[in-house]
Amino acid sequence: MKSSVEDGIVTLSGTVRLYQGKLDAAKTARKLKNVQGVRNLIEVAGPVVTDAKLREQLSSKLYYDRVGWFDSAFNYFTLDVKDGVVTVGGQTYNDVGRDSGIALVERMPGVKGRRK
């Protein structure tokens, strides 16, 4: 991974294995002193997974996420996958269920990006 700074804007480039790595790099760069913005050009170069297979894997993971917790019955996620970019929708009982579901998506091998 590489970074450069011009006029307070940090530009990140290179590759990572998981989408979460891309997010972590940007978060770290934003915390640096005198940084006014981050341009994240990092590519996710993890395994190639078809959209159908990725949707199937994510659906299964989200279905079983937080099983046994009192609030899991209220979590309902919708998924759309196009070219490895996942769009997540739906409703959760609380922020914990939402954050847990989003974390599963961001750490899944094959995910290249996420839309809200």
Least-confidence region, from 9-18, 24-33, 64-73: 64-73
pLDDT at 30 > cutoff 80: yes
**Would you state the pLDDT for residue 107?**
95
**Would you state the pLDDT for residue 17?**
95
What residue segments make up the domains of the chain, in order of their start?
2-44, 51-115
Mode of pairing for the β-strands spanning 43-44 and 37-40: unpaired
Token couple for 5:
């700074």
How far apart are the C-alpha atoms of 24 and 86, rounded to whole Å? Answer: 18
Q: Average pLDDT for residues 40-46, to the nearest whole number?
A: 94
Q: pLDDT-based confidence at 75, cuts 50/70/90?
A: confident
Q: pLDDT-based confidence at 10, cuts 50/70/90?
A: very high
pLDDT at 74 > cutoff 80: no
Return the CATH number of 51-115, one of 3.40.630, 3.10.20, 3.40.50, 3.30.1340.
Answer: 3.30.1340
Please give the backbone phi and psi of residue 26, each rounded to the nearest 5 degrees, phi first. Answer: -65, -40
